[in-house]
Amino acid sequence: MKALLMMGCPELPVQTAAGLYIANKLNDEGFDVTIAGNKAAVSLLLNSDPQRHYIRKVMDLDRCIGALAEKKMDFDLCFVFIHSDSGISYLATVKSLSKAKTVAVIFGKDIEPLIEASGDSVIIAAKAVHNPTPLRAQIDGVKSWAALTR
């Protein structure tokens, strides 16, 4: 099983923590995990995990969209990190290009409009900016990510 974590702008601190946490969960379930993000988002992750315990494959966000569009790769499960309208655009793009089951990981201060805009994706949402605990509680509410792909 292959999973993609599509990171947004890393301006909210909880994103990096949530990314590492979800990657760890997916690794434990045996997923082949790829993380896509812009240079800053990927750099934050790699600097937080220097021995690559959690982060194994990374790629540039634009290259990821291109590879999905060209059908050069695909995933079973895709987490899109969303705290702004841009994240919703990336979620819609993944839904258009991939067969993956999508999970909208929504955080920030004003999450309700983002939840509404996420459509039929699985929603993991919490009001969280600096403290990742509320978001982690939502992530822990899912006992098996692999079950979502069946």
Partner 1 sequence: MNYEILLPNSSFKECADFIKKNFKEVYYVEAGFKIFDNYLVGVSPIPIAVDGEDVILPYVKPCHGCFVLRIPGKEEAERLRAGKY
Q: For residues 16, 17, 20 and 24, what is the CA-based torsion angle, rounded to 10 degrees? A: -160
Q: Contact between 78 and partner 1 (CB under 8 A)? A: no
Supply the angle between the helices 39-48 and 14-28 in degrees, to the nearest 10.
Answer: 60
CA 141, CA 126: separation in Å to the nearest integer? 12
Least spacing, CB of residue 8 vs partner 1, in Å: 5
- Answer for which of 54, 90, 107, 145 binds partner 1 (CB under 8 A) is 90
- Answer for which of 1, 65, 115, 146 binds partner 1 (CB under 8 A) is 65
Positions 15 through 34 that interact with partner 1 (CB under 8 A): none
Residue whose pair of structure tokens reads 């459509």 in the numeric block: 119
Name the one range near partner 1 by CB under 8 A: 16-24, 38-46, 52-60, 133-141: 38-46
Name the one range near partner 1 by CB under 8 A: 27-35, 37-45, 100-108, 127-135: 37-45
CA 60, CA 140: separation in Å to the nearest integer? 28
